[in-house]
């Protein structure tokens, strides 16, 4: 995660005046470039995303997000559980539930 005009796409398309409002999320050869309304908004989003990434890495994301996400992960709705696993993180769906769904923890 980087602030400013750092990706090739932003370097080609964003005016320099927007540098303080840009935030880029990068992974595996891809990026998501955001241009927010103010630097303060960009800073708030960057701080929030850093906390979420750190908590997911520690296996604490379900705790951070509260009980609702845990209940969804443990339902008998396999599609919803797999989508949740893929979109939010590997620690959201328990290994037992992943096994029951026919997949394994990465």
Name which residue leads in pLDDT, 39 or 53.
Answer: 39
Q: Are 48 and 90 part of one and the same domain?
A: no
**Do both 1 and 53 map to the same domain?**
yes
* Residues 6 or more apart in contact with residue 91 via CB below 8 angstroms: 56, 59, 60, 61, 62
By residue range, what is the domain housing residue 53?
1-58
Task: Give yes or no: residues 22 and 38 share one domain.
Answer: yes
Model confidence at 75, pLDDT cuts 50, 70, 90, reads low
pLDDT of residue 88: 62
What is the sign of the dihedral through the CA atoms of 6, 12, 17 and 22? negative
Q: Is the domain of 73 the same as that of 103?
A: yes
Q: Are residues 34 and 2 in the same domain?
A: yes
- Give the chain's domain count: 2
Name the nearest CA neighbour of 61 among 89, 86, 95, 96.
89
Return the sign of the alpha-carbon dihedral for residues 42, 46, 49, 51: negative
Give yes or no for residue 52 having a pLDDT over 60.
yes
- The model carries a pTM of 0.56
Q: Are residues 10 and 49 both part of a single domain? A: yes
Two tokens, residue 86: 């893929």
């Amino acid at each position: 995660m980087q602030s400013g005009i750092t990706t090739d796409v932003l370097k080609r398309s964003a005016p320099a005046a927007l540098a303080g409002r840009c935030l880029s999320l990068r992974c595996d050869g891809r990026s998501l470039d955001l241009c927010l309304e103010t630097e303060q908004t960009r800073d708030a989003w960057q701080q929030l995303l850093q906390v979420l990434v750190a908590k997911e890495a520690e296996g604490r994301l379900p705790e951070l997000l509260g009980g609702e996400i845990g209940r969804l992960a443990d339902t008998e709705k396999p599609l919803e559980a797999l989508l949740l696993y893929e979109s939010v993180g590997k620690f959201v769906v328990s290994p037992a539930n992943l096994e029951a769904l026919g997949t394994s923890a990465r």
